[in-house]
Each structure stands twice: as structure tokens, then as C-alpha cells.
Chains A and B, each alone.
Chain A
């Protein structure tokens, strides 16, 4: 029964549509990339990039290469390190700003001035500031998720229906109970949204940071992460590997977001009923 449903889902119309679209995309890419030898003329743009079959071959060669997986591992480590730190600091900060007017008044202006500074603009400063390259990359990654999470938590906690608070108050709930059982769950959907958006930014930032900083402490090759993997492929002239790196980031980002979606759904079961 359960397996049947799984197979049903696997071959559902939506899945088939998705697969079909990917197939068409790869086909156009293949034809475009090989247009010079197949059609006798070079298609603009597409004619300059390596065809998917070459990319796949290059990828197949990398599957057994530990340094390729090391790049995955390093980027994941940085993304989740920065992201978890952003959650650990951002969520309480957002909540505290929402419930404490004095703190909001003191901190929010500074926060709003810092917020528009792109995380990547922090790269040089953080390289100077932090003792290791690794920490500076993690810090920039942290910034990528931090502001989005704080803003979402703050907005969510401030827009709680006043009647929920009044209802709880009139039933004799303490301030702490109202915070724990009303404010927190009411803010959860915003926390989930903020985290999902923040996670996306984190991947954007980590790759750029790895490229700029030269791959972190190990200085290249094995320890560099996916961003550095792309950069060194470019420098080394292996165009297939550039694309392998790009697709790898796409897949990594997809899995990170999916993980967050699942976790978010687990923590906010009431939203599924809408």
C-alpha cells in the first residue's frame, strides 16, 4: 500500500512533467553545444559551452575522487555552520526586539543600517578581522542568513493577532506562558519562511566567499569547497568541471531547502490543514 503510493507519486503527472522539462533542457543544450559539428554552424552562447555528455563524463570521473566530495563537505559545513549560528542568534534577537520596546528602540536603527550591506562587502573586512580564513567565510555566510531571519522573526512576532494575546491573558496565563505557547508558535511560520530564504542566500554567499578568499584555510584543492572548485576549474581551463560544480551547488541547495521544508512542516503541522 505504502509502496504503491510511493510509486504512484514517482510516476505522477507532476513528476513526469518535471522530468520531461529537464530532458528537453538537456537535449537543447546538447544540440546547441555540438551545433558546430552537427549543424555546421556555431549557435550563439550555447555553442561555447561544453555539452552535457562531456559534463557527465567529467562528473563520472569525479564521483570516485575524494577531493570532489571534500568540496561538497566543506561547503555544507560552512553553510550549515553559518546558518545555524544565524538561527541561534537571529531568532532570539528578533523575538526580543518584538517583545521589548526599549531594546527595539536601541538596536533597530543600527540593525537597519547594517542590513543593506551585502554580505560579500564584508569579505575583506572579515578576512582582516577573523584569525582564520575559515572563520571569515563562516562569518560572511552567517551574515547572509542572519538579517533575513531577524527581519522575518521580528515581523512575524509583531503581527500576532491581538485577540490571541488577550484571550490568553483573560484565561489567566502568565507572561512566560504567553510567550512560550502563544508568541512562539504564532511566530513559527515566519521563522520557517525566514530560514528558507536565509538558506538560499547562504548558498549564494558561501560560493562567492570561497571564490574570493581562495578556498579557505587549506589554500586550495581539497579543502576549498564548491565555490573554490568552480574557480580552480576555471583557472585550470576545465570547463566541464565548472559546470559540474555549478550543478553540484544547485543540487546541494535543493537538498538544503528540502530539508528545511520538511523540518518546517514538522514544526508547523497546523499549516498543512489550510
Chain B
């Protein structure tokens, strides 16, 4: 395991002074259903989302990552274990922890501008200031020309940017992103990585990003949590010590990036194999033999 600490982040090094906002999960358990239908999704899962860092969680698809997000966001609660933010237990949803969902959750009946303004309007606070902020964010995500368009009139990448703006206007302490760039084509995806990384580097808020894409994980992360197959727990934590700002080429040319990528691939492959074989020894043996021949 790598213990190198990334480019020492001074809180407030960015545009805005951030208070510490750390989320700690310890020994979380979550089982759905009961009796013969019971399915344990999360088992003895512990990890820390460190303050003012971009923590990426990667794991085989179908492991309990989305469930963990439901817990952290406060939409559901764990069966046992502790989940705290800044030492306080998380009991319900709140605007200090904003979630960007897998598929676009922009409200289809609102224009881009109204979508961005939803949070401040719903809370009825600082509307004048929020309106200015909305203009600023529209410009920042490059959607001024699309302010009066409905979500269906935007491309996939624009929708994701509009959603980022909608989240950022609420100034959340922690931003939670659940595979936000899934389904975008490769080019838009890489552009979104660069774009999102720039946004992050500007104010270094606490970000928690869930993905199944290794390149995405390495390109974005300060800290990388690698999860096990179902039931989910933390397998390893890797600090990604590639200096920022990073470039897409780094994924190919940077030797450190390649080293990390190999390590992550090996770990994830093991986990994915468990998932694929679904406990069948024969299937696991087959996969193992196959991977040796192919490798």
C-alpha cells in the first residue's frame, strides 16, 4: 500500500476557505430483504472521506457502491456501524452533502436556469445573491446560451455540466458523485474529466466520486478507495501522487500512473472475477486459466 501523501493540500489554498468536512464510515453493515431473500450488500465496511480531497471509490460494478452513496447522502440508514460527518452522525439528507446521480436528475420541466436556481429557491434563502451566483455558474459551465433550454435540448455533456452547476450553487461541504460521466462517449468523458478536475482544483472542496472506470479514477483521485466484490468492504486505499494539474496524456506516459494502473487492475480483476464466477470454483478456475493464457 502506498503511504505517500499527495501534494500537501493546505485548506483554503483554493479560492474559498473551507472548513474541515470529513466523513468517516466505520464497520457499516447493510442487508436488504429478510430470511432466504436476504442479501448482504455492505459488510464491515470502513473508510474515510478526507477533508478537502478528492476521494474516488472504485469497485466492480454491482458491488454496493450506490448503496454506500444512499447511506452517506442520508436517504437510507445502515443496519449497524457508524457513519459520521465532522463527528456528527448522519441521520438524513441535507444540503451539506449533495449527490450527483448516475443518470441525469435534472428536472425535465425546468429550464437550465431554473434547475440551477432550484436549491436556493426551495430554501428561500439569499435569492438575489443566488441569482448572481447562477449567472456566474452558467458562464463557468459554458451554458449561458442554453439558460432557457430544457434538459432534453442539451447534450449529455451539457446536462452533466448543468447538474454540476445546480449542485455547486448550494455550496455543499461535500459533493458526492455517483458515476456521473457514465454513458458519455469517450471524447466527452475525457473533456468532462479535465473540466471537473479544473473545477475541483479551483476550490478543493471535499469530493467523493464513485466510478468503475480505472482511467477516470486515476486521473481524478487524490485518494483511491478500492472496494471488494459483494458484500462490499474496503480492500485497499491508494494515494494517487501524480501532480496536478494532470493531463490526459499522463494516463499513457506517466510511469507512476501506469504503475498505479497495473496495481489497481490486478486488484479489481481479482474482485471482478469473484463477481463473475459468483462463487463457482469451476468458473473461477476457468477465468484464471483464461487470464493466464491471454496475459
Q: Which of A167, A170, A174, A270 has the most CB of B within 10 A?
A: A170
- Encode contact with A along B98-117: 1 for CB under 8 Å, 0 otherwise: 11010101011110000000
Q: A166-B73, A181-B118, A273-B153 given as contacts; is B101 within 8 A of A172 (CB)? A: no
Contact of B95 with A by CB under 8 A: yes
Rounded to whole angstroms, the CA-CA distance of A168 and B291 in the bound complex is: 45
Q: Mark out the residues of chain A between 177 and 222 whose CB falls within 8 Å of any chain B CB in the assembled complex.
A: 177, 181-182, 185-186, 188
Contacts of B103 in A (CB 8 A): 163
Contact of B97 with A by CB under 8 A: yes
Interface pair B95/A171, CB less than 8 Å apart: yes
Rounded to whole angstroms, the CA-CA distance of A270 and B153 in the bound complex is: 9
Q: Mark out the residues of chain B between 116 and 151 whose CB falls within 8 Å of any chain A CB in the assembled complex.
A: 118-119, 122-123, 149-151
Interface pair A172/B94, CB less than 8 Å apart: yes
Contacts of A274 in B (CB 8 A): 152
Q: Which of B103, B109, B153, B170 has the most CB of A within 10 A?
A: B109
Rounded to whole angstroms, the CA-CA distance of A172 and B172 in the bound complex is: 11
Interface residues on chain A, number (Cβ under 8 Å): 23
Q: Report how many A-B pairs have Cβ atoms within 8 Å.
A: 72
Contact of A132 with B by CB under 8 A: no
CB closest chain-A residue, reference B153: A273
Q: A171-B95, A177-B122, A273-B150 given as contacts; is B109 within 8 A of A166 (CB)? A: no
Contact of B286 with A by CB under 8 A: no
Interface pair A171/B109, CB less than 8 Å apart: no
Contact partner, A186, options B93, B101, B109, B166, Cβ 8 Å? B109
Contact of A15 with B by CB under 8 A: no
Contact partner, A171, options B101, B152, B153, B170, Cβ 8 Å? B170
Contact of B75 with A by CB under 8 A: yes
Interface pair B107/A185, CB less than 8 Å apart: yes
Contact of A16 with B by CB under 8 A: no
Contacts of B122 in A (CB 8 A): 168, 171-174, 177, 181
Interface pair B109/A268, CB less than 8 Å apart: yes
Rounded to whole angstroms, the CA-CA distance of A168 and B101 in the bound complex is: 12
16 further A-B contacts with Cβ under 8 Å, apart from A169-B93, A171-B118, A182-B107, are A163-B101, A164-B107, A166-B101, A167-B99, A167-B105, A167-B107, A170-B95, A170-B97, A172-B94, A173-B122, A174-B122, A177-B122, A186-B107, A186-B109, A270-B108, A274-B152
Please list the residues of chain A having a beta carbon within 8 angstroms of any beta carbon in chain B.
161, 163-164, 166-174, 177, 181-182, 185-186, 188, 268-270, 273-274
Please list the residues of chain B having a beta carbon within 8 angstroms of any beta carbon in chain A.
73-75, 93-95, 97-99, 101, 103, 105, 107-110, 118-119, 122-123, 149-153, 166, 170
